[in-house]
């Protein structure tokens, strides 16, 4: 069974200066989902147990990009945002009851302004559904005031823009209608070139409305000490020194009290440090299974799993398949 099922690809050639590329795909493998978003480097770690199911719809105009991602499992996302673009995350379904929006770095009751050409990390809860709207700086330069434009470019961390629920719902509906219109051109009137220009202009206006509407509160920086601690722990257990570290080892190495560590993971991930960091190591082992010919026992030991039966048990619990299943699919 293939992990990625390509549903539709349509490429509209340039007419009157506008080109549109559309790609829609579903995935049953978290790494293929992460790698499928071209020119948007990212690495995903599945952190809740069960078989992964993902969906991606990617619409790329000349000066604007709109993509929608759905994932049924909780996923830790490491991303580097592209240079020369202003990007917003618009939640379609983002349930964060067990965590803090500020600590998670993404708003569920508003939109999130992403930093330009920066690393970005957040942990998406299960059943996440969101869209990212990215517009080139050139398209925005002449449409924003000098202060608003420079403010967008100077953000070096994510910013939350809380929006009135009715306004956010209306923008969400408009966004989904625009995505449907792009993928169903037979239901629209007028020439293809004019339709595509109109759709691109509507998306730019939507970003401007979300960035500077009267119905919003001032942007507030997201991320705090709890987010910083989780990210440090995540990076540490993937390093050569921390690959076999226990939670106690992590606390000692990072000089973080266990109580603080527990609270930070609850606020950012909704789970315990032991469960989250074990999932991170299992994801790293999965990538080695897919990219190397090392024996399963050697890969398990690389990440502190010295009992093969326990490694296989936890691996199967998280990914709903055994390490041998993963290795066999790569070989087929």
Question: Is 32 in contact with 3 (CB distance < 8 Å)?
Answer: yes
- Same domain? 234 vs 204: no
Indicate if the pLDDT at residue 285 is higher than 90: yes
**What pLDDT is stored for residue 286 in this prediction?**
96
Instruction: Give the number of other CB atoms < 10 A from CB of residue 10.
Output: 13
Helix 273-291, helix 258-268: angle, nearest 10:
70
**pLDDT tier at 191 (50, 70, 90 boundaries)?**
low
- Same domain? 198 vs 256: no
> For 117-173, what is each residue's pLDDT tens digit?
999 999 999 999 999 988 888 877 877 777 777 766 766 788 888 888 888 888 888
- Same domain? 176 vs 44: yes
**What pLDDT is stored for residue 16 in this prediction?**
46
Indicate if the pLDDT at residue 211 is higher than 70: no
Arithmetic mean of pLDDT over the chain: 85
Task: Map 212-272 to HEC letters.
Answer: CCCCECCCEECCCHHHHHHHHHHHHHCCCCCCCCCHHHHHHHHCCCHHHHHHHHHHHCCCC
Would residue 117 be called left, alpha or beta, if left means φ above 0 and alpha means ψ between -120 and 50 degrees? left
- Same domain? 274 vs 243: yes
- Same domain? 313 vs 190: no
**pLDDT tier at 6 (50, 70, 90 boundaries)?**
very low
Indicate if the pLDDT at residue 228 is higher than 80: yes
- Same domain? 181 vs 237: no
Lowest model confidence (mean pLDDT) among 42-51, 97-106, 128-137, 220-229 = 97-106
- Same domain? 21 vs 99: yes
- Same domain? 304 vs 321: yes
**What pLDDT is stored for residue 167 in this prediction?**
83
**What pLDDT is stored for residue 3 in this prediction?**
39
Last residue of a domain, one of 201, 221, 241: 221
Q: Which of 50, 10, 54 is nearest to 35 (CA)?
A: 54
What CATH number is associated with residue 262?
1.10.10.60
CA distance 299 to 311: 10
- Same domain? 216 vs 242: no
**pLDDT tier at 331 (50, 70, 90 boundaries)?**
low
Chain position carrying tokens 């792009």: 182
Indicate if the pLDDT at residue 30 is higher than 80: yes
**pLDDT tier at 213 (50, 70, 90 boundaries)?**
low
Strand partners, 114: 87
Instruction: Give the number of other CB atoms < 10 A from CB of residue 103.
Output: 25
Instruction: Name the most confidently modeled range: 39-43, 153-157, 317-321.
Output: 317-321
How many domains does the chain divide into? Answer: 2
Last residue of a domain, one of 189, 205, 221: 221
- Same domain? 194 vs 270: no
Last residue of a domain, one of 155, 188, 221: 221
- Same domain? 237 vs 199: no
CA distance 134 to 140: 11
**What pLDDT is stored for residue 42 in this prediction?**
94
> Phi first, then psi: what are they for 283, rounded to 5°?
-65, -40
What pTM was estimated for this model as a whole?
0.87
**What pLDDT is stored for residue 242 in this prediction?**
92
- Same domain? 265 vs 286: yes
The whole domain housing 186 covers 4-221
Would residue 271 be called left, alpha or beta, if left means φ above 0 and alpha means ψ between -120 and 50 degrees? beta
């Amino acid at each position: 069974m293939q992990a990625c099922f390509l549903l539709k690809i349509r490429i509209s050639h340039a007419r009157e200066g506008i080109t549109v590329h559309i790609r829609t795909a579903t995935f049953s493998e978290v790494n293929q989902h992460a790698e499928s978003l071209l020119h948007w480097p990212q690495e995903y770690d599945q952190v809740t147990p069960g078989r992964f199911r993902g969906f991606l719809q990617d619409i790329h105009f000349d000066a604007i990009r709109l993509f929608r991602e759905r994932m049924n499992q909780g996923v830790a996302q490491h991303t580097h945002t592209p240079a020369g673009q202003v990007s917003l995350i618009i939640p379609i379904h983002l349930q964060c009851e067990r965590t803090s929006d500020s600590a998670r770095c993404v708003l569920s009751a508003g939109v999130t302004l992403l930093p330009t050409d920066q690393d970005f990390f957040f942990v998406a809860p299960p059943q996440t559904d969101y869209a990212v709207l990215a517009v080139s700086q050139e398209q925005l330069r002449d449409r924003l005031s000098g202060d608003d434009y420079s403010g967008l470019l100077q953000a070096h961390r994510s910013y939350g823009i809380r929006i009135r629920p009715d306004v956010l719902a209306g923008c969400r509906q408009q966004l989904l209608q625009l995505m449907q219109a792009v993928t169903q051109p037979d239901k629209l009137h007028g020439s293809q070139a004019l339709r595509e220009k109109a759709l691109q202009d509507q998306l730019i206006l939507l970003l401007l409305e979300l960035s500077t509407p009267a119905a919003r509160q001032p942007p507030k920086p997201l991320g705090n000490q709890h987010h910083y601690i989780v990210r440090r722990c995540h990076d540490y257990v993937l390093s050569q020194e921390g690959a076999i570290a226990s939670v106690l080892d992590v606390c000692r190495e990072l000089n973080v009290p266990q109580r603080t560590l527990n609270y930070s993971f609850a606020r950012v991930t909704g789970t315990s440090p032991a469960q989250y960091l074990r999932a991170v190591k299992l994801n790293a082992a999965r990538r080695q299974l897919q990219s190397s010919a090392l024996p399963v026992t050697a890969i398990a030991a690389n990440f502190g799993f010295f009992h093969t039966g326990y490694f296989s048990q936890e691996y199967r619990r998280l990914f709903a398949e055994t390490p041998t299943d993963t290795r066999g699919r790569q070989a087929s």
